[in-house]
Amino acid sequence: MKVRTEARRNAILESALALFREVGFERASMNELATRLGGSKATLYGYFASKEDLFVAVVQAVATSHLAQAAGELLEVKEGTTLASVLTRFGERMLRVLTNDTDALAVYRMVIAEAGQSSVGQQFYDSGPAEYIRALAQLMAAAMARGELRRADAQVTALQFLALVTAETGARLYQVDPQPLSVKQIRGMVERAVETFLAGAIKR
């Protein structure tokens, strides 16, 4: 019986990312991946039950793990920290991943392309965005309970904030090789998003 190792799993994910980036999700095959790794399909299936499961694992490793960490921080806000500073820190981390991580951008594009063909899109959403949306909604609900924000649906409020954070970067998904954004640019985008959000959501 072969023993699974974290190092081997990571090697599979790294090779799978390269393959997916080269040929896309649909054309990628477990046969080709096994050939590149110098192993067998049986070994791959010992780690991942299907190509879809492998793709979701790649997405999690490349695009959503950083945001999951950021989501965890939202639920561990220290006393005395302002809502604006918490939202700003999260927004900056989010935009750094979405704009300057070429691997993350590549897999996001593949998820969008595949979403109408299989369950990959929903799996991606459940393993990534859904987690940080829940964390943001909890943050919003707590702020509403403290009287910092006007009462509203916390989930919707979280989604509205996320839409503002990404408002200036959406076009990058459709560009061939979008230029990286500077720290100053990202900070400016997030500051404008937070300012606009609080102007509409703050309790008066």
Q: What is the CATH number of the domain that holds 147?
A: 1.10.357.10
In a domain, 84, yes or no: yes
| 81 within a domain of the structure (yes/no) | yes
Domain count, the chain: 1
- Structural domain contains residue 10: no
Q: What mean pLDDT is reported for the chain?
A: 87
Distance, CA of 174 to CA of 196 (rounded, Å):
25
Is residue 16 in some structural domain?
Answer: no
Does the pLDDT of residue 116 top 60, yes or no?
yes
Please determine, for residue 35, whether its predicted confidence score (pLDDT) is greater than 60: yes
The answer to the question of residue 45 being in a domain is: no
pLDDT for residue 63 is more than 80: no
Alpha-helical regions (H) of the chain: 6-27, 30-37, 41-47, 51-59, 65-74, 83-100, 102-114, 120-127, 129-145, 154-165, 183-201
pLDDT of residue 3: 57
For 195, the domain range is 59-201
- Please give the average per-residue pLDDT across 109-113, as a whole number: 83
Mean pLDDT of 137-144: 93
* Residue 26 domain-assigned (yes or no): no
Residue 176, pLDDT > 60, answer: yes
